[in-house]
Amino acid sequence: MTLLEHLREVYAGAADPEKAAPMRAYMRDRFEFLGITSAPRRELTRQVLKGRPGPAEGDLTEVALACWALPEREYQHFACDYLRRHAAVLTPAALPAVQTLITTKSWWDTVDILASNVVGVMVAGHPALVSTMDAWAAGSELWLVRTALLHQLRYKERTDADRLFGYCTRWAGERDFFIRKGIGWALREYSRTDPGAVREFVAAHPELSALSVREATKHL
């Protein structure tokens, strides 16, 4: 049985229609759900992956894209967890597939995991991908912009502060909620490493939205 076949068999066996309805409502009816909440789903995932060898890059992207083609959101969540677990395997060759995941069936629940735990790992391991982050941050696809803003979320002292602040400045006037929230979140996380720099940046940019400022200064 292939990984995808095993996954579908196990997840389908745990489906709970009574839980699926409120899960769908929470996500504004954007996606169908099997009705498997996070903790049980991760336990099922461990069962599915138990004993299987570590995947090659092509296996990772193939499975992830196949999960994205399925209607129920739990499969996309599995793909995100699978990619996150093996993100170190991914090279720049995988970025087009990851970009497809970010820009298809897009919502915060998948984009944020891909941004900070997959794309961020890829950029750290392959610094040439920084130019792609610059291109995404300068583009018009807002989910790619959010990914660029958040890709350094786990970097701490390795954060390229000039790049982070540059992205935030570029999008400071954006009205989209997810961009405003992303700016604030990225700044808030960096404030744990360099609170003074974040404080100065916020003070110097009155064009930042109230939401961005509130999030950025939450721990200052």
Tell me the residue range of the domain where 168 lies: 152-220
11 with 108, same domain: the answer is yes
**Sign, Cα dihedral of 163, 164, 167, 170:** negative
Residues 111 and 168 both lie in one domain: no
- Specify whether 13 is located in the same domain as 111: yes
> Which pLDDT score, from 0 to 100, does residue 54 have?
94
In this prediction, residues 183-206 reach a mean pLDDT of 98
Domain assignment present for residue 59? The answer is yes
Same domain, 111 and 172: no
Sign of CA dihedral 112, 13, 67, 32: negative
Query: 83 and 180 share a domain?
Result: no
Task: Mark whether 102 and 178 lie in a shared domain.
Answer: no
Q: Are residues 67 and 159 in the same domain?
A: no
Please indicate, yes or no, whether residues 117 and 160 belong to a single structural domain of this protein: no
What does the pLDDT look like over 107-149, one tens digit per residue? Answer: 999 999 999 999 999 999 999 999 999 999 999 999 999 999 9
Last residue of a domain, one of 129, 163, 193: 129
Can you give the pLDDT at residue 133?
Answer: 98
- The whole-chain average pLDDT of the chain stands at 98
143 located within any domain:
no
CA 202 to chain centre: 25
Sign, CA torsion 8/9/14/18: positive
* Section 10-38 average pLDDT: 98
In the chain, what percentage of residues exceed pLDDT 70? 100
In this predicted model, what pLDDT tens digit does every residue of 179-188 receive, in sequence order? 999 999 999 9
Give the C-alpha separation, 77 to 112, whole Å. Answer: 11
CATH number at residue 193: 1.25.40.290
**Tell me, what's the pLDDT at 147?**
98
In a domain, 181, yes or no: yes
- Give the domain CATH number at 67: 1.25.10.90
The string of pLDDT tens digits covering residues 43-96 is 999 999 999 999 999 999 999 999 999 999 999 999 999 999 999 999 999 999
Q: Are residues 12 and 61 in the same domain?
A: yes
pLDDT of 127 reads: 98
Q: Does 158 map to a domain?
A: yes
What residues does 72 pair with on adjacent strands? 32
Residue 96 to residues 14, 61, 86, 89: CA-CA distances in angstroms? 32, 10, 17, 15
Beta strands in the chain (DSSP E): none
104 and 13 part of one domain = yes
Q: Can you tell me the mean pLDDT for 98-113?
A: 98
138 located within any domain: no
Whether residue 142 lies inside any domain: the answer is no
In 69-176, alpha helices (H) = 73-85, 95-103, 108-113, 120-125, 130-138, 142-150, 161-170
pTM score, whole prediction: 0.97
Same domain, 188 and 92: no
Which of 95, 56, 54, 98 shows the shortest CA–CA distance to 79? 98
For residue 55, is it within any domain? yes
Position 144 in a domain: no
CA 47 to chain centre: 24
Domain count within the chain? 2
114 and 183 housed in the same domain: no
